[in-house]
C-alpha cells in the first residue's frame, strides 16, 4: 500500500469535507461499547456536531452517497459502479442509486491529447496518422476517444489515457485501502461487506484499464473468438500503433443499444436482438471462457445492416472475466439443477465446489433453497429475473457462511447488465427459455458420452505411446501397491505399540495415585488419636501439619 504522503493526506481531507457536506455520517451504523475508541468518539461528536444543521430532507442515503462519489471524481465513480453490483452486500436503495453513476467527465484538451499521442507513438509511427479530430468523440474517467484517419484512408478511433491519471489513481487507491481496512477492522456491522477485498479487486481492475496494450490484446482475443459468428463484432485493433498510453482501432458505425427509437426506426427485430444478447453472453462464459465484463449501454452498439438478424458491436475491452474450469463446470451444473428444480443437487454442488463450508448441513441448505425458489418458480418464467434470483440465492447462502466468490463477481455484474438490457429491449424476454437449451447442449458436449469419446480421441497418440509400456506400468503399480500396504501395516504396528505404551503408563499412573491415597488414608487413621491429644496441648504446629496433610490429599486426588 502506498505511504500516505502530503498529497494523499490532502486528498483524505477533501474526502472528509465532501462526506461532511453531504451528511454521509448517517451511513455509519450504531456504535457499541466494544467498538474502537475513536469510532465511539466520532459517534459522540456526531451527536453534538453542527453537521446536524445540514438538512437531508428529500435526499436518501443512497442519493447523497452517489453525489459524494461524483464530486470526488473518476476513481470514486468507478468504485461506486463496482459497489452497485454487490446487491448481496448493500441495501437495495443504495445499490440502485450507485447504479445511476455515469462514467462521463469533462474532456481534457484535444491538442494535449494529440501531443501525448505523438510522444507515445514516436515520429515514425505517428507519421501514419493522416488526420486527427481535436474535439473528442467521448470522454470517460480513464481515457478520451478521438476520431482520426490513417494515410491508407481507413477511418480509425484513437483512445488516449488521461494525463496524470495514474498518479491520481494511486493516491486515491491508497486512501480507499486505508479507509476500507480501518472500517473493516473497527466496525463490526461493516465486516460482511469485505471492503478490503472489494478495494483490492477494484485496484486490479482499474490498473488494467490504464494499459492500452492489455485492452488491445483483449479486443483481439474477443474478435478472434467471434470471427465467424453472426452474434458479435469487435473492431480490429492496429497493434503497430498501440502503446500503453494509446490504442488505435477500426472505426465502426452502429446504433447505440440504448436508442430504442432508432432501433425501431431501422426495423430491427428486437426479440431476436434480446435473445442474441443472452446467447452471446453464455457463449462467452461457457464456450470461450473469456467474457466482456464491462457492458454498460455506452459500450454496446448494434449493426442493423440486416434488421432481422442484428449483430452486437462491443467496444472497450479493458475488463475481461474468466472462470477456472472447475468453477465453470460447477456453475453450469448449478444452472441446470435450477432449471430442473433439483434443489438437492444444488446443495450438493455448493458443498462439492467449496462455495459453502464442508461442515454445513446439506439437508437444511436444501430446505432453505427450496423455500427461496418455489415461490419464484410459481411465477410465469418471463416474469422471473434470473440475475436477481441469483442475488437472492447468494444472500440466502450467506446464512451458511458462504463467502463472496471473487471469481463470480464480474460474472454476476455482467449478467445484471445483460438481463437488464434484454428486458429493456424486449420486456417479454424469457431468459430461462433462451438459456436452458444452450446449457443442455453445452452439458451434453462437455459431459455426455460423446465428450468421453472425444477426450479419448484427443489423447489417443499419448495412449498409443504408453501402450507398449503398459505391462511394465502394471507391474510397477503392483509393486508400489505392495510396498504401500507393507508401509501401512508397519505404521499400524507402530501405532498399536504406542497405544499399548500409553495404556501401560496410564495404568501405572492410576496405581501410584491410589497407592498414595491408601498410604495417606492409613497414616491418618493410625495417627488420628495422637493428633487429637496433641491438639489439646500444642494446637498450632499440629493444626498446620494436619492442614498440610489434608491439602496433600486433595492435590493427590486431583492428579
List residues with catalytic annotation.
294
Q: How far apart are CA 285 and CA 332, in angstroms?
A: 10
Helix (H), strand (E) at residue 156: strand 155-161
**Cα end-to-end distance, the chain, whole Å:** 53
C-alpha grid cell, residue 45: 461528536
Beta-strand relationship, 232-233 and 155-161: unpaired
Using a 10 angstrom Cβ sphere, with 0-12 exposed, 13-18 middle and 19 or more buried, the burial of residue 524 is middle
Residue of 78, 36, 88 lying closest to 393 (CA atoms): 88
Q: Is 515 helix (H, G, I), strand (E, B) or coil?
A: helix
Distance, in Å, from the CA atom of 45 to the CA atom of 28, rounded to the nearest integer, reads 13
300 — phi, psi (to 5°)?
-125, 130
**Cell representation of residue 349:** 454442488
Cell of 347: 446443495
Short-list 338, 323, 320, 339, CA closest to 414: 320
The HSE-up count of residue 172 (CA atoms within 13 Å, CB side) is 21
Residue 256, by phi and psi: left (phi above 0), alpha (psi -120 to 50) or beta? beta
Helix axes 74-84, 61-72, angle to 10 degrees: 140
401's torsion region: left (phi>0), alpha (psi -120 to 50) or beta?
A: left
Q: Which of 76, 125, 134 is nearest to 101 (CA)?
A: 76
CB 335 within 8 A of CB 435: yes
Beta strands 311-314 and 232-233: pairing type? Answer: parallel
The CA distance from 56 to 61, in Å, is 9
CB proximity list for 172: less than 8 A, separation 6 or greater: 11, 73, 75, 76
Q: Where are the beta strands (DSSP E) in 196-344?
A: 232-233, 246-250, 255-256, 291-292, 300-303, 311-314, 320-321
Amino acid at each position: 500500500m502506498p505511504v500516505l504522503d502530503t498529497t494523499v493526506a490532502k486528498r483524505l481531507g477533501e474526502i472528509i469535507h465532501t462526506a461532511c457536506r453531504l451528511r454521509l455520517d448517517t451511513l455509519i451504523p450504531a456504535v457499541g461499547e466494544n467498538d474502537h475508541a475513536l469510532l465511539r468518539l466520532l459517534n459522540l461528536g456526531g451527536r453534538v456536531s453542527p453537521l446536524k444543521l445540514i438538512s437531508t430532507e428529500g435526499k436518501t442515503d443512497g442519493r447523497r452517497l452517489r453525489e459524494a462519489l461524483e464530486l470526488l471524481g473518476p476513481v470514486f465513480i468507478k468504485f461506486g459502479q463496482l459497489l452497485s453490483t454487490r446487491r448481496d452486500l448493500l441495501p437495495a436503495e443504495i445499490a440502485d442509486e450507485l447504479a445511476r453513476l455515469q462514467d462521463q467527465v469533462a474532456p481534457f484538451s484535444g491538442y494535449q491529447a494529440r501531443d501525448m499521442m505523438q510522444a507515445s507513438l514516436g515520429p515514425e509511427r505517428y507519421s501514419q496518422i493522416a488526420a486527427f479530430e481535436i474535439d473528442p468523440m467521448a470522454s470517460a474517467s480513464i481515457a478520451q476517444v478521438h476520431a482520426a484517419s490513417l494515410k491508407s484512408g481507413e477511418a480509425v478511433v484513437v483512445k488516449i489515457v488521461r494525463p496524470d491519471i495514474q498518479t491520481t489513481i494511486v493516491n486515491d487507491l491508497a486512501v480507499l485501502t486505508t479507509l476500507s481496512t480501518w472500517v473493516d477492522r473497527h466496525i463490526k456491522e461493516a465486516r460482511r461487506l469485505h471492503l478490503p477485498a472489494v478495494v483490492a479487486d477494484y485496484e486490479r481492475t482499474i490498473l488494467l484499464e490504464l494499459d492500452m496494450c492489455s485492452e488491445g490484446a483483449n479486443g483481439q482475443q474477443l474478435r478472434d473468438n467471434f470471427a465467424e459468428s453472426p452474434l458479435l463484432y469487435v473492431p480490429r485493433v492496429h497493434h503497430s500503433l498501440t502503446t500503453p498510453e494509446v490504442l488505435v482501432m477500426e472505426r465502426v458505425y452502429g446504433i447505440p443499444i440504448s436508442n430504442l427509437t432508432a432501433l425501431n426506426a431501422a426495423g430491427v427485430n428486437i426479440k431476436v436482438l434480446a435473445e442474441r444478447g443472452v446467447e452471446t453472453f453464455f457463449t462467452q462464459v461457457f464456450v470461450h471462457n473469456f467474457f466482456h465484463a464491462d457492458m454498460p449501454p455506452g459500450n454496446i452498439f448494434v449493426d442493423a445492416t440486416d434488421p432481422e438478424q442484428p449483430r452486437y458491436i462491443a467496444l472497450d475491452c479493458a475488463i475481461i472475466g474468466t472462470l477456472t474450469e472447475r468453477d465453470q463446470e460447477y456453475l453450469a451444473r448449478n444452472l441446470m439443477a435450477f432449471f430442473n428444480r433439483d434443489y438437492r443437487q444444488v446443495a450438493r454442488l455448493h458443498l462439492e465446489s467449496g462455495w459453502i463450508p464442508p461442515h454445513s448441513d446439506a439437508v437444511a441448505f436444501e430446505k432453505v433453497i427450496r423455500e427461496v425458489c418455489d415461490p419464484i418458480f410459481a411465477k410465469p418464467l418471463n416474469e422471473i429475473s434470473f440475475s436477481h434470483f441469483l442475488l437472492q440465492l447468494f444472500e440466502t447462502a450467506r446464512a451458511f457462511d458462504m463467502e463472496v466468490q471473487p471469481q463470480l463477481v464480474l460474472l454476476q455484474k455482467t449478467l445484471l447488465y445483460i438481463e437488464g438490457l434484454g428486458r429493456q429491449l424486449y420486456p417479454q424476454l424469457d431468459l430461462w427459455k433462451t438459456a436452458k437449451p444452450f446449457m443442455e447442449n453445452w452439458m451434453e458436449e462437455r459431459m455426455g458420452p460423446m465428450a468421453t469419446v472425444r477426450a479419448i480421441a484427443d489423447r489417443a497418440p499419448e495412449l498409443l505411446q504408453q501402450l507398449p509400456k503398459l505391462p511394465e506400468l502394471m507391474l510397477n503399480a503392483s509393486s508400489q501397491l505392495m510396498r504401500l500396504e507393507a508401509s501401512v501395516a508397519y505404521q499400524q504396528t507402530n501405532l498399536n505399540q504406542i497405544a499399548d505404551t500409553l495404556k501401560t503408563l496410564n495404568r501405572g499412573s492410576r496405581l501410584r495415585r491410589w497407592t498414595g491415597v491408601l498410604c495417606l488414608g492409613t497414616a491418618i487413621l493410625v495417627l488420628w488419636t495422637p493428633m487429637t491429644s496433641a491438639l489439646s496441648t500444642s494446637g498450632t504446629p499440629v493444626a498446620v501439619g494436619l492442614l498440610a496433610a489434608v491439602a496433600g490429599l486433595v492435590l493427590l486426588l486431583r492428579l
